Amino acid sequence: MLKNLDKHTISINTSLLDALKQLNNLPDLLTLFVLDNKKKLIGTLTDGDVRRGLIAGKSIKQPLSEFMYCDFKFLKEGEDNFKKLKLFRERRLRAVPLLNKKGQIIKIYDFTKIKSILPLDAVIMAGGEGIRLRPLTNDTPKPLLKIGQKEIISYNFDRLYQFGILNQHITLNYLSEKIVDFCNAYPKDIHFNFIHEHKLLGTAGALSLIQDFKNDTILLMNSDLLTNIDYEDFYKTFIERGADMLVASIPYDITLPYAVFETENRTVNSLKEKPTYTHYANAGIYIFKKKLLKLIPQNKPYNATEFMEDILKNGYSLMHYPIRSYWLDIGKHNDFEKAQKDIAHINWD
């Protein structure tokens, strides 16, 4: 998102020459948003708009309104704007404003930097002690250990940001002040909410401490994951399949070293030579409906596996989503070493 709105907006009373000077200082997006005297968005202006106007015989001395484009695209505050993304992509729009009810700009989404706008709150579990990674975690919380040039948790912050997931709740316990300081100094426009676990509540228990979810759908993940999962496809699958919870999974193939009989009543019907069976392991990333929070006990240790069991017991639908891209759980020293070797080859685009 664009932080300095003044740089990207211009008054309708501005001369075309001054508008061109301002456009010249925007080499990234080359779009100005034209506001009336009440700060309401009434048009957009690009260098192409100016060029087409001059070719059509208009004068540089004519008002800005003669050059601006009025049929602009925008998002509305409080709406499910995810559905409009397909249209924006087809038109190859690079910057789209979010407007309030008065038509004033709240923020501008820069689609050269983000991929999507997903209506999700993210909860990142970062309270663990990282015991298996000691002595690396004696003075540094595991999420702040560096892989390559960045902290583990930074890869998760930035990946969520790429998909427009800006409400990020961080659960904390071990060395929590270091993670808070790190987040407070983070350069991106992310809304961090800190949840302090006074005792460790497992991989899902701290969800009971969060009261201010902005969206009706929640993404829960572990902080020690290194993954380039496509969150938009993950969310689309959740919606299209009508799941109450969708769990990311890792395909795990097992090849038996022997021929296997396929039998019925002890009669051999066929033979498979060294077959391969695919199993799916929990990847530690979940999307679920906010209504499921009622299943979580208040302020008690509670793991994501227990959460899934309770979902099934109560008749809700639980489905899984195989991750076909990169995924690594950095729990042990050999995982940490593998991540250091892999990081330069992971595609984050």
Per-residue model confidence (pLDDT) at position 180: 96
Greater model confidence, 211 or 310? 310
240-284 per-position pLDDT tens digit: 999 999 999 998 888 877 888 788 877 878 888 887 777 889 899
Mean pLDDT, range 97-115, rounded to an integer:
87
Q: State how far the Cα of 124 lies from the Cα of 129, in Å rounded to an integer.
A: 15
Asked whether residue 345 carries a pLDDT value surpassing 90, the answer given is yes
For the chain, how many helices (H) and strands (E)?
9, 19
Asked whether residue 215 carries a pLDDT value surpassing 80, the answer given is yes
SS (H, E, C) 28-50: CCCEEEEECCCCEEEEEEEHHHH
Domains recognised in the chain with CATH numbers:
5-110 (3.10.580.10), 121-345 (3.90.550.10)
Asked whether residue 185 carries a pLDDT value surpassing 80, the answer given is yes
Greater model confidence, 211 or 160? 160
**Which pLDDT band, with edges at 50, 70 and 90, does 3 fall under?**
low
The pTM of this model reads 0.83
284-338 per-position pLDDT tens digit: 999 999 999 999 999 899 999 999 999 999 999 999 999 999 999 999 999 999 9
CA dist 307 to 127, 168, 225, 293, 296, Å? 18, 21, 20, 9, 7
Chain-wide mean pLDDT for the chain? Answer: 90
Q: Residues 341, 299: contact at Cβ < 8 Å? A: no
Mean pLDDT, range 124-147, rounded to an integer:
94
Asked whether residue 2 carries a pLDDT value surpassing 70, the answer given is no
Q: Residues 54, 71: contact at Cβ < 8 Å? A: no
